[in-house]
Amino acid sequence: MKNKVINSIIIGGVVIITAIALFFKLNKPLKELPYFGFKTSDTIIEGGKTVIRESNHKVGNFSFINHEGKTITQKDLAGKIYVVDYFFTTCHSICPVMTSQMLRIYDEFKNEDRVRFLSHTVDPEIDSVNILAEYAKAKNVDPNRWYFVTGDKKELYDMARQSYYLDAEEGDGGPDDFIHTPNFALIDENKFIRGYYDGTDSAQVNMLINDIKILLISSN
């Protein structure tokens, strides 16, 4: 009888430990995502002493017009995880592949309110609000979750190069300047860059989908 009681206690303990372990396994990401971009240093006075504190790069503020003619700023993405890309509607090389891969990601998270998508045109002279509206309509996506944006070319390009680090080439946003990158950037809810992925590579996009899930768990 005594052995049965001891065995019951041991089995009960194993069950509880297993349940706790399973809980943490399901609610804790299997890996931590890195932070990308140059760190910045701020000199502050703390406790009467001068302290240099480093912080990770954050995406800067912006103001662009989406395919519904609405102004989209960082406020519209506050507290959201979002995926960024640069494309143009008349592209017949990498852009259609990128958009189809972005649609895969969109379909995976279209019911997740914490995820958004931000596609910038690199050809604002052609990609007007009306053109982007037709493009978005053909993709049948929710305009409150996926923003196709246009605006001043220099501002669009400055965001790509100085905020998202999606293009390493120097340029002034002038008539001869052009960005054509296949890369997607993953931004977390605190405006930190957490990953880069080739938007023409399905395996890389699979990784991006998994990394979004990691951020969603981490932000709970």
**How much is the pLDDT for 168?**
84
Cα–Cα distance list, 53 to 28, 46, 48 (Å): 28, 10, 15
pLDDT < 70 stretches in the chain: 1-30, 41-44, 46-47, 51-53
pTM for the full predicted model: 0.82
Specify the length of the chain in residues: 220
Asked if residue 54 lies in contact with residue 40, where contact means CB atoms within 8 angstroms, the answer is: yes
Helix (H) or strand (E) holding 216: helix 202-218
Cα–Cα distance list, 174 to 131, 154, 195 (Å): 22, 7, 29
**How much is the pLDDT for 5?**
45
Helix (H) or strand (E) holding 72: strand 71-73
Domain boundaries, the chain: 58-218
Q: Which residues contact residue 152 at a Cβ distance below 8 angstroms, ignoring those fewer than 6 apart?
A: 124, 173
Fold of domain 58-218: Glutaredoxin (3.40.30)
Pairing verdict, β 40-46 and 115-121:
unpaired
Count, in order, helices (H) and strands (E) of the chain: 5, 9
Helix (H) or strand (E) holding 23: helix 2-27
